[in-house]
Structure 1
Amino acid sequence: MTKPFKNLDITKQKRIINAALKEFTEKGFEMASTNQIVKDAGIGKGMLFYYFNNKKDLYFYLIDYCIDITEQKYLKFIDTSERNVFERLKNISNVKLEFLMKYPNAINFLATIFLKNFDQIDPKLKSRIETLQEKSHAKIYGNIDFSLFRQDIDAEKTFKLIQWSFHGYEEEVKHRLRDQDMNSIHFEAYFEEFFDYLDMMKTCFYTKGEDEK
């Protein structure tokens, strides 16, 4: 964050950030208009370039900002004490949905990065995103109770199958959303669909009553 921007009133910071996130999400980097950003933020164009050297610096700042938000407001709230893998995934999804509702502009912006522009961003920021993904994976799948799986199946292979299913569903959703306006998507339906798949897998892979341990 540049010093002049950091010294701004927090309300004004958020207004600029949200205006920029919305514009970049809707139009992408190349087509995004700094004129529209300053209009929505209620500031002069000269002030925007006083806070950020150019459009690219603003764009990279937003990526960094969204990574920080994800770490502090999403990953930090994932509870790994639930050792039932299906309940863990449901709990994480609820945290994610709450996060989506609270920071829609940040999430929609990051989604466009993953779906369309990941290979074009600054290598350092790309490395930060990849590290964030690794942290997320560790929180999602660490400290799982394998004794809850049916005794007649290989628990570790089944666990791997669940991971593949989870990531396969994520990729399918990404494919569905690739050409949609991120600001108009109702994510609740995707979470409900995901919960249905989790319940189906729990029925298949857990002994009846074991999931209540």
Structure 2
Amino acid sequence: MGVQERQQKEKMILDAAIRLFTEKGFAATTMDDVAKSAKISKGLTYFYFKNKEDLYLAMTKKAFDELKDVFREVYKNKARTGLDMITELANNYVKFARGSRIYYQAVLDFLGTVQLYNDEHLRQKINPLILQSEHFQKLLEMHHDCAKIGAQMVALGTKDGSIRAELNPEVAFYTVWAMLIGFEKLMGPVSYEPKDTKIQLETWKPGFTKLLQDMLKGTFQAVKVQPVQTSLF
């Protein structure tokens, strides 16, 4: 079997798995389902992917590749300031998260798995089939790639004056990334009615962007509260 044919069959199987993971969820999907959807024998499916976990990690790698493309697309236009890049990236990141749900969830799942992997005691909680997948090691090697591009955007901003010069690019970008993950996760709760808090998604989104920009530009200022004389009655 030639390389091109092998790659073609791998793609057919992976595409089928992604469709099923999206429609049915990971737990409800079986390798039989994948083989039938891909119109490939079950034996051949196992030849290319050891198990369902291996397939999910292959999809996760594809998800990181797609997310990296989002970063690259923003960074390639060097005519803008670093702050403009980060602002555009924030908007495109949320679009990716909302528009590619299965990919974005796979990214978050892997980041959570890495947190367990870094602790020898917690590592035992990871499914052994995940650790045995060849895609797992590849993901360990590449999962910082997006942040590296993001840090380059921050570094560019510190040079062109749009971002505070004293910021560490890596620390600053990982802080931005943490904010974006939190923002995306809270979009649902903020949009849900009824709620006691006086906040709407339409006003929160521009407010979040402004706060992010102010943090990077350094326009935060400590305000000294002046004592006010007043009467309770």
TM-score, normalising length: structure 1: 0.58
1:172 — aligned with what? 182
**Cα pair distance change 1:128/1:195, threshold 3 Å:** farther
1:147 — aligned with what? 161
Determine which structure has greater relative contact order: mean sequence separation of CA pairs < 8 Å that are 6+ residues apart, divided by chain length.
1
- Counting only pairs closer than 5 Å after superposition, residues 193-204 of structure 1 correspond to structure 2 as 193-200=204-211, 202=213
**Residue of structure 1 aligned with 2:65, choices 55, 58, 68:** 68
User: Structure 2 CA distance, aligned partners of 1:94 and 1:171?
Assistant: 12
**Cα pair distance change 1:62/1:100, threshold 3 Å:** same
* Count of residue pairs the alignment pairs up: 186
1:38 maps to 2:52: no
Contact 1:19 1:37 in 2 (8 A): yes
Task: Note the residue ranges of structure 1 that are not aligned, 5 or more in a row.
Answer: 178-188, 208-213
1:91 maps to 2:101: no
In structure 2, what residue type is equivalent to 1:166? Answer: V
The alignment-based identity, stated in percent, is 15
- Counting only pairs closer than 5 Å after superposition, residues 125-140 of structure 1 correspond to structure 2 as 125-140=138-153
Q: How far apart are 1:143 and its partner, in Å?
A: 0.7
Q: How far apart are 1:79 and its partner, in Å?
A: 2.2
* The structure with more radius of gyration: 2
**Cα pair distance change 1:129/1:94, threshold 3 Å:** same
User: Structure 2 CA distance, aligned partners of 1:104 and 1:4?
Assistant: 34
1:16 maps to 2:13: yes
TM-score, normalising length: structure 2: 0.55
In structure 2, what residue type is equivalent to 1:79? Answer: Y
Contact 2:12 2:38 in 1 (8 A): yes
